[in-house]
Amino acid sequence: MSYAEIDAHLVAPKRFVTLSHLSQVEQADFPALQDTTGLSMTDLSKILRDLEDRGLVEISKERKNRYGITLVRLTPDGRRTFLNLVATLNRIAGN
């Protein structure tokens, strides 16, 4: 077992908690994601942009009544990547 098996970028606490929440839901709107992760709007925006650039999340904007809402979901590759990361962490931890 080696630290090289772990994507250090994804185990950074802010990214990890964001991916963890998204892995438990089909999709989340921005305010709910911000509330459950405890991240500031700025931090969450940067993290989501980064995860989107890596192809791990999909961000869409929709209209609800007169207001726009931002929805975030894991892509199939994002879900697979996160599950593999958790499996690797568990294996290294001996679980």
**CATH number of the domain to which 66 belongs:** 1.10.10.10
Mean pLDDT computed over every residue of the chain: 91
d(CA 6, CA 25) in angstroms, rounded, equals 24
Segment 33-61 mean pLDDT: 96
Is the pTM higher than 0.85? The answer reads: yes
> Domain for residue 1, yes or no?
no
Identity at 24, one-letter amino acid code: Q
What domain range includes position 49? 7-90
User: 95 in helix, strand or coil?
Assistant: coil
Q: What is the pLDDT of residue 1?
A: 55
- Give the count of domains, the chain: 1
> Domain for residue 95, yes or no?
no
Higher-confidence position of 28 and 2: 28
User: 61 in helix, strand or coil?
Assistant: strand
pLDDT digits (tens, 9 = 90+) for 6-27: 888 898 999 999 999 999 999 9
